[in-house]
Structures are given as C-alpha cells and as structure tokens.
Amino acid sequence: MQFLGGNRRKLRLADDQRNACYPHSLQFYLQPPSGNISLIEFENLAIDRVKLLKAVENLGVSYVKGSEQYQSKLEAELRKLKFSYRENLGDEYEPRRRDHISHFILRLAYCQSEELRRWFIQQEMDLLRFRFSILPKDKIQSFLKDSHLQFEAISDEDKTLREQDIMASSHSLGGVQLELESVYKIPFADALDLFRGRKVYLENGFAYVPLKDIVAIILNEFRTKLSKALALTARSLPAVQSDERLQPLLNHLSHSYTGQDYSTQGNVGKVSLDQIDSLSTKSFPPCMRQLHKALRENHHLRHGGRMQYGLFLKGIGLTLEQALQFWKQEFIRGKMDPDKFDKGYSYNIRHSFGKEGKRTDYTPYSCLKIILTNPPSQGDYHGCPFRHSDPELLRQKLQAYKIPPSGISQILDLVKGTHYHLACQKFFEMTHNVDDCGFSLSHPNQFFFESQRILSGGKDFKKESVQPETPQSKLSVQRSKDASSALASLNSSLEMDLEGLEELLQ
Amino acid sequence: MEAFDPAELPELLKLYYRRLFPYAQYYRWLNYGGVVKNYFQHREFSFTLKDDIYIRYQSFNNQSDLEKELQKMNPYKIDIGAVYSHRPNQHNTVKLGAFQAQEKELVFDIDMTDYDDVRRCCSSADICSKCWTLMTMAIHIIDRALKEDFGFKHRLWVYSGRRGVHCWVCDESVRKLSSAVRSGIVEYLSVVKGGQDVKKKVHLSEKIHPFVRKSINIIKKYFEDYALVDQDILENKESWDKILALVPETMHDELQQSFQKHHNSLQRWEHLKKAASRCQNNSKNDKCGPWLEWEIMLQYCFPRLDINVSKGINHLLKSPFSVHPKTGRISVPIDLQKVDQFDPFTVPTISSICHELDVISTKEEEKENGAESDIKHRTRDYKKTSLGPFVKVFEQFLENLDKSRKGELLKKSDLQKDF
C-alpha cells in the first residue's frame, strides 16, 4: 500500500502482525515457520539453539531444577543467546522468532535416532518448564487457549461445590485457600500421572486439577506432541537431506553427537603397558583405579570387573595385542596356566574388541550404565565406588587417596544426595587441584581424557573435530550404543564440534 | 438341582451350544451396532477344548458363523480377546508387525484367592457364603468408582463361575484406551499393596482421597456382619494377633489384656477403635483419629485387583455365558440392582439347565406333535430355564448400550448438519 504517510502506517501494521505471530514468550511449536531465511542465519540459529540446550542440560545436572541458581543462570543464558523467555520485555518479536525457527531446524538434526530424540525432547521439556514457571498467572489461560489445550478453568461456583474433595485430593494445595487458586477441568485420560497416584479429584470422567499440577500435564502433552512430530520429521528427512546446502550442516549436527562414545579414539596405541600403573593413580577415575589395584593384588578379576575395566582400557587406547598381553601377564602371576588363559580368557578379550562372534565392537561403559546395572557382590570390584561402597568404606578409600577432610565431607554429602557423578567430579577437582573441573562427568573415559588434558597442559590428546567414521565403527556405534554414552559425547565434544561447525561454515 | 459331573461335559455342552447359548444377544453385544466396519469380524476368541487343547485367534464372520463353529467344536471354555487390525483367523497371512490389537473392553478380574491372607473360612479355590461378601463389597466399591469418578456408563459384571467376578467396561471411548491409561485406572483403584512378606498392606496418608473415603463408607455398611460376625476376626488370640500386627507395638500390651476381658469380636473392635483414636505420642505420624481403624478395615475388605488382566489390550478373559469346566456353573451377568442378593451357589449349572430343558421339552412334545421347527425352540429355550433371568439382565445392559449409541449418532449427525 502506497499512501501518503503510509510509512508510519505500514510500520504499525507490521507491529501488530508481528505481535500476532508470537503472542507469547513460549510456545508449543505447533506450526512450522514459513518465509525465507538466509543460509547463514539458518546455520547460526541452529548453533545457538544447540548451545542453549546444552546449557539447559548442564544446569540441570549441576543445580536442582527450579532452584534460585538454576532459574537465574538459565535466564542469563537465554538472554545471552537472545532467545525469548519472559513476557513484557519490550520488543519480543525477534527473540521469539529465533526461538521458533531454531527449534524446527534442530528437529531435522535430532529426529534421526532414539537417543537423539530422547535428548532433544528432555532439554526442550526442561526449557518449557522454566519458561512456564515464570509466566504470570493472568497470561496462563490465554497461553493454554492458544496452544489448543482443552483446559478450562472452572467457575467459582463449581469450585465451591467441590472444595472439600479437591482439597482432599491435591497434595499441592497445602492449606492454601482454594478461592485464590485456579482449578482446571480436563478429561481424566489427559491427567494420567496425577490420577494414577490418586493425586487429583475425579468426577464423571474429569480431573479437577489445580494450577500447580497443570504444569506436569502440559509437559506431558508437549512431550507426546514433540515425540510424534519427530517421528514424522524423520520420515520426511530424505527430502530435506537431498538439499545440497543443508546436507553438510545437518549431517554434521547429527553425526557429531553419535560418534563420541570413546570406542574409536585418535589415540589408539598411544598408551604403553608400563604406563598403566602410574596412569591409574594419576588419571583413572576411582572405579577403574580400584579395579586396577584389585587386579594387581589378586592377579585376577571376575567377569563384571574384567568387562568394566577391560573396555575402559580399550577406550584409553589399548590395542587388542596389548590387552591380551596385559591380562595374560597378570593372570599368570596368579599361578594361572598360560594355556588355560588362552583357552578361557583370551576369547572373551578378543570378543570385546569385536574380533569374535557377532563382532560387535563393544563400547566402554558409561557412568550411568555402571551405576544402574550389575551391582557388585562379595568378591567383586566393579561398579561405582560412590554408588556401591558403604559410606564408611568410601571415607577410608578417599583418605587413602589423600583427599583432604573437607573434600571428603563434601563428597560424602553429594553421595548422600545420590549425586554420584557430582561426587566423582569433586574427586576430580580435588585430585587435580582445580576449582571447577569444567565438564559434566558421565563417562569414566571422559574422566581419563580430561585428566590427561590438564596434566599435559591441554596439548596432547586433542580429538579431531570431524572424525571420519569408518563403516564398522558406525555400525557398532548404532548397535551397542546406550543413551548415556551419547550424552557423554554430547557433553564433552560439544565445544570441539561447535568449533568444527563454525569452521565448516566459513 | 442336578449334580454336576465333569465327565458329562461333552454331552451337556452339545445341548448347551445347540439350544441354550444366547447367540442373538451375544452377537448384539460384540457387534456394537455394526457402527464400525468389521468390528465383530476382527475380534479374537479362544477356545479350550477337551483334554486342555487351547486354540487362539478364532474369529467369525457373523452370528451364524459363530453358532456353527461353537456347535462344531463344543469348547469347554470360551475367552474373548481384542479387536485386531485384521481377522484373527488370518493373522498368519499378515505382514510381520502389521497385525495389531487395537481395541478392547476394559476388564477387571477379582479373585477370591487373592484374599487368602484375610479370610478364615476358606482358602484357595473354595468359597462360601461367609466370604462371598468380599465380592459384594468389591462390586460396590469398584462399580461406584467406575461410574462416578471415571464416568463409565456401560459396565457388565459377570460371575466367573467359581471364585470371583469379572467386570467388562464397554463404553466406546473406553475400548480405545491405551495400556498406560488402563494401568493407571487399576492403580487408582488399588489400596492394598504388598505380597506375602508384607504384613501391613495399607498405609493411609493424612489427606484421605475422596475415592478412599467413599470406599470406606461402603465397607462400613458390611464390616460388622462380615468381619466381626461371619469372619470373627477377633475371635481368639490366634486371630487377633494378626490384627495386632497391623497396629503400633506400643499398643499391643494394653490391647492383649483388654481383649482377654472382652467376650466377642464386636466388643474387642469397639475397644480397638477407641484405643486407636487416642493420639499416639510415641509414633512418628501424630495421626489422631480413625486412620488406624480404617487401615485395618481396608486391609480386610478392600478389593484386590490383578493389574495384568486389565492393562493388556490383547489380554484374553473368560466370556460371559461360558461354562466353568470344574463347577459346571455358567458365567452369568450379575444384576447391579441386586448385588447384595446375588448367591453364587444358586447360579445355574450346565447340568441343571440341561435337565430343566429336557423336562420342558418332553412336556411340550406331549402337547404338540413335535412338528415345530428346531429354530423356534432354540430362540426361546434359555428363557424356559433358570438361565432366563440372567439373559434378561444381559438384555437390559444391551438396551443401555443401544440407547447410548443412538444418542451419539444423533449428536454426530446434528453436528454435521450445522454449518
């Protein structure tokens, strides 16, 4: 429209249109973005959102979700990366637009495998939970309406009628006057997590949910919708990937986060057997240090210990030949017959290197796997000392490792709160004399890698940022992967890979 | 009543499936008005034949097909499964992974053996009039919740034939529920938790959920007669020691002494209630009031559900009007208006109704010259036996389903007419 003074009018129209596009600081991402975007912006948005989600993950691991520190740090991160988070902050159009588009771009990268999807959904959910928690009450109803959620707040009369029953059902309403709280009426099947534990009042097929509990339901809805959307996206992916401009970016984004599970290292063969003893006291995490000590003392380890330690050694760079020599030497010291070793044990070692049977190149166990599966019994030395040792025994071990008493009590406190990985991180900080280990621990080989990095001044052991994946390793990665190793890789390789990405895009 | 001899089953079943099984009503139920194409045709049935031969993935084209098959196979037991994506009897021809269970009624199975730790009169497969009250209470409690809390309208309660009851919830939306929601419903309805190694199976929090409160109110109506008289749970030291195991140790000495002084369970219960209401200053939860009393009542009377029966969409459950091979009793619908009067020992057995039929037939033949066709007889035969009233209950249930369906269809067509 070309009118006199039309410039001003045009701007105002655009403003209204812009506000109408993004009426809220948060959204369910129901509609994909439309319009044109430059390749550079496409790439930058993707990188920024990955940084954001990574920060969400780290903060969720380092602080209790919802605590003051968590909330303020997450808000700072969002502000820094210029994504939307809060209402009424002046011109919100740009941050909301960035949020919208970047989410959909990442769907393309993260729909490709089960682990990626799970990670993406988890961080997006945490992000949504945060944004919802700072949404002012009067904005909630309109947000719900715009998101097509069938949640209607019931009238005051309806509330009073059922006051006793609602108060008696909901744990989140401790002594609060019901008049002040909104209560929403939703179909019972939409409130599964609430009604199964009898945490909500049911009447005639509807759940009467107070505001505080609605959040859990909203998050569930979000998770279901996003999960379905990712499945759909995966199906249409081939069409997207055929676009030459997008292919390198999407490949890089997704493959970087599936490759790093410490099964293929750039440092294979860089460790010699005579270094192991000293490495075990300097750079091994306590779980592996304990296994090594037991092996040296008893000249034997049971199966659980052999698996956990053996795969770890493979991860730090031992070759098959070295591994065979290492185990055989030690077992022979225990008066084992060399032939018996060859017959009974060498097969298993070769098997775990992928040279026997179905030839799966097994990946070293992540912390989560060690903590959650195959707990040690009498005579076992595997497992996680922070999880599986008696607190008193753990104290003694830490004293033997020369950890100062203040450090020991901090570690034991973390153990009490079941924050085993944080306890191990604290152990790392104490033994390497650093205030902040600078990474989020989730894998024993990560501990080793980071330790070596510090001890060698950060020069050695630098992983290549774009690793050419051999067909065999890619296959084995997909076969024997578990979610946490993908997470481990996501954590520690992110900085590297972001640099790699940015190089790629220049 | 004619005594039931399992050895006679083959002969009895022949007659049952030829003259007594209510095919028309049965088909009317599972066809659900024919609204969804192939709903009946995709339904799985399973048969248990003589010598424990079990065959799955049976399906039928229509009522007549079902009749012919039942009359040919004379199954000892019929189970109903899910409605699948394809005809179950052709499932082998379907591409791997494509044959899926899609819908099924929400079902519950309440079995008397699950109460063995709290009934003194019987154990295992035995039941008697003293413990049957457990089923009565279970039906009232569960049915109220299904109706009032969940809003389910079409609930068919059926006697299992020996030691329990089943419930079939047939609302259209319910048949589509996911396994997760079904599990959630069972969880909502569960209060008694723990196996053999757990003594105290009920722990109430300070806030009592309306479901629990209403269930306790139902139990209160029966508790005195059932627990204190029939079961006599405080009769002697051996029996009241079990109750004391559910009560804080600090109360034991006093209760043991006073129980000796009282003469019967009623008195002892009154005393226990008073003692429990006093504030327990030593215990962790300073719950003053009747929580303890309610916990005991719930442990002794609250329904115990088997979650595995309810959560699986493809789970097979004994069909109404199936015969119980050990007792001979027919799995008959229970009239919800007369739950308290239901007596499992008066449920007709296959031998008794076959006998009734014989008597009637010979009488009729004496009247007419037997020129009437078989079909005419068949459609009204069950009416002439003690099975009749139970089929009536079933028909009432079907009427309600039809009414609902008509209402839904009208609503839908109204919506479509609106522009």
Contact call for B150 and A196, based on CB within 8 A:
no
Tokens 């972001």 -> residue: A498
Contact call for A202 and B212, based on CB within 8 A:
no
Average pLDDT over residues A195-215: 92
Q: How confident is the model at residue A341 (pLDDT cuts 50, 70, 90)?
A: confident
**Chain A closest-CA separation from residue B207 CA (Å):** 6
- Is B210 in CB contact (< 8 Å) with chain A? yes
Partner-chain residue, chosen from A165, A201, A205, that has the shortest CB–CB distance to B151: A205
pLDDT at A503 (0 to 100): 44
DSSP A141-199: HHHHHHTT---EEPPHHHHHHTHHHHHHH-TT-SS--GGGS-EEEEEGGGGHHHHTTT-
Structure tokens at B326: 């050990």
Residue with the bigger pLDDT between A504 and B307: it is: B307
Contact call for B150 and A205, based on CB within 8 A:
yes
Q: How many CA atoms lie within 13 A of A87 on its CB side?
A: 15
CA-nearest of A131, A332, A148, A169 to A225 is A148
Contact call for B210 and A169, based on CB within 8 A:
yes
**Chain B closest-CA separation from residue A195 CA (Å):** 6
Q: What is the pLDDT of residues A47-75, one digit of tens each?
A: 889 888 888 888 887 778 888 889 999 99
Q: How confident is the model at residue A265 (pLDDT cuts 50, 70, 90)?
A: low
Q: Are strands B43-48 and B77-84 parallel, antiparallel or unpaired?
A: antiparallel
Query: Could you give the CA distance from residue B232 to residue B239 in angstroms, rounded to a whole number?
Result: 8
Q: How confident is the model at residue B42 (pLDDT cuts 50, 70, 90)?
A: very high
* CB-count exposure of residue A417 (10 Å: 0-12, 13-18, 19+): exposed
B224 is catalytic: no
Select the highest-mean-pLDDT range: A358-367, A374-383, A418-427, B43-52.
B43-52
- Is A165 in CB contact (< 8 Å) with chain B? yes
Q: Which residues, in sequence order, are CB contacts of A88 under 8 Å at separation 6+? A: none
Q: What is the pLDDT of residues A10-40, one digit of tens each?
A: 343 456 666 677 888 888 888 888 888 888 8
Give me the residues paired with residue B157 across strands.
B167
Query: Is 70 exceeded by the pLDDT of residue A270?
Result: yes
Residue numbers in the known binding site of A are 287, 367, 384, 424
Q: How confident is the model at residue B372 (pLDDT cuts 50, 70, 90)?
A: low
B414 is catalytic: no
Which one of A165, A170, A202 makes the best mutation probe of the B interface by having the most chain B beta carbons within 10 Å?
A202
Which residues on A lie below 8 Å from B181 (Cβ)? 189, 192
Q: How confident is the model at residue A266 (pLDDT cuts 50, 70, 90)?
A: low
Q: How confident is the model at residue B282 (pLDDT cuts 50, 70, 90)?
A: very low
Which one of B209, B212, B215, B291 makes the best mutation probe of the A interface by having the most chain A beta carbons within 10 Å?
B209
Contact call for A202 and B208, based on CB within 8 A:
no
**Chain A closest-CA separation from residue B192 CA (Å):** 13
Q: What is the largest CA-CA distance in chain B?
A: 85
Percent share of chain B, pLDDT over 90: 80
**Chain A closest-CA separation from residue B189 CA (Å):** 8
Which one of A161, A172, A192 makes the best mutation probe of the B interface by having the most chain B beta carbons within 10 Å?
A192
Tokens 């607190």 -> residue: A391
Q: Report the range of poorest mean pLDDT among A143-152, B9-18, B76-85.
A: A143-152
pTM reported for the whole predicted model: 0.67
Strand ranges (DSSP E) for B66-216?
Answer: 77-84, 101-103, 106-111, 155-159, 164-169
Average pLDDT over residues A282-291: 95
- Is A171 in CB contact (< 8 Å) with chain B? yes
Query: Is 80 exceeded by the pLDDT of residue A206?
Result: yes
- Is B207 in CB contact (< 8 Å) with chain A? yes
Q: Which CATH code of 3.40.50.12780, 1.20.1260.10, 3.90.920.10, 3.40.190.10 fits the domain covering B105-192+306-312?
A: 3.90.920.10
From the list B67, B69, B111, B381, the catalytic residue is B111
Structure tokens at A263: 């099964």
Contact call for B184 and A171, based on CB within 8 A:
no
B111 is catalytic: yes
Which residues on A lie below 8 Å from B209 (Cβ)? 168-169, 198, 201
pLDDT at A175 (0 to 100): 62
Ranges of each domain in chain B: 105-192+306-312, 198-301
Q: Which residues, in sequence order, are CB contacts of B302 under 8 Å at separation 6+? A: B137, B141, B191, B192, B202, B215, B219
Q: Are strands B77-84 and B101-103 parallel, antiparallel or unpaired?
A: antiparallel
Which residues on A lie below 8 Å from B210 (Cβ)? 165, 168-169, 201
Q: How confident is the model at residue A487 (pLDDT cuts 50, 70, 90)?
A: very low
Query: Could you give the CA distance from residue A65 to residue A253 in angstroms, rounded to a whole number?
Result: 27
Q: What is the pLDDT of residues A95-110, one digit of tens each?
A: 888 999 999 999 988 8
- Is A198 in CB contact (< 8 Å) with chain B? yes
CA-nearest of A292, A288, A250 to A427 is A288
Percent share of chain A, pLDDT over 90: 28
Structure tokens at A262: 């410490």
Which residues on B lie below 8 Å from A185 (Cβ)? none
Which residues on B lie below 8 Å from A198 (Cβ)? 188, 209, 211-212
Query: Could you give the CA distance from residue B325 to residue B268 in angstroms, rounded to a whole number?
Result: 43
Residue with the bigger pLDDT between A215 and A474: it is: A215
What secondary structure letter does DSSP report for B329? Answer: B
- Is B99 in CB contact (< 8 Å) with chain A? no
Query: Is 90 exceeded by the pLDDT of residue B186?
Result: yes
Q: What is the largest CA-CA distance in chain A?
A: 100
Q: How confident is the model at residue A338 (pLDDT cuts 50, 70, 90)?
A: confident
Q: How confident is the model at residue A209 (pLDDT cuts 50, 70, 90)?
A: very high
Q: What is the pLDDT of residues B127-154, one digit of tens each?
A: 999 999 999 999 999 999 999 999 999 9
From the list B79, B103, B109, B171, the catalytic residue is B109
Partner-chain residue, chosen from B150, B180, B210, that has the shortest CB–CB distance to A201: B210
Which residues on A lie below 8 Å from B151 (Cβ)? 188, 203-206
Query: Is 80 exceeded by the pLDDT of residue B23?
Result: yes
Q: How confident is the model at residue A467 (pLDDT cuts 50, 70, 90)?
A: very low
A254-257 contacts at long range (C-beta below 8 A, 24 or more positions apart): A254/A109, A254/A110, A254/A112, A254/A113, A254/A116, A255/A469, A256/A466, A256/A493, A256/A497, A256/A500, A256/A501, A257/A116, A257/A119, A257/A486, A257/A489, A257/A490, A257/A493, A257/A497
Contact call for B181 and A203, based on CB within 8 A:
no
- Is B152 in CB contact (< 8 Å) with chain A? yes
Residue with the bigger pLDDT between A4 and A456: it is: A456
**Chain A closest-CA separation from residue B66 CA (Å):** 35
- Is A161 in CB contact (< 8 Å) with chain B? no
Contact call for A188 and B150, based on CB within 8 A:
yes
Query: Could you give the CA distance from residue B288 to residue B278 in angstroms, rounded to a whole number?
Result: 6
Strand ranges (DSSP E) for B187-248?
Answer: none
Query: Is 90 exceeded by the pLDDT of residue A218?
Result: no
Partner-chain residue, chosen from B152, B185, B210, that has the shortest CB–CB distance to A165: B210
Which residues on A lie below 8 Å from B180 (Cβ)? 192
Contact call for A196 and B184, based on CB within 8 A:
yes
pLDDT at B285 (0 to 100): 56
Complex ipTM, two decimals?
0.91
Which one of B148, B179, B211, B213 makes the best mutation probe of the A interface by having the most chain A beta carbons within 10 Å?
B211
Q: How confident is the model at residue A239 (pLDDT cuts 50, 70, 90)?
A: confident
Which one of A192, A193, A198 makes the best mutation probe of the B interface by having the most chain B beta carbons within 10 Å?
A198
Query: Could you give the CA distance from residue B111 to residue B135 in angstroms, rounded to a whole number?
Result: 8
- Is A204 in CB contact (< 8 Å) with chain B? yes
Partner-chain residue, chosen from A171, A192, A197, that has the shortest CB–CB distance to B180: A192
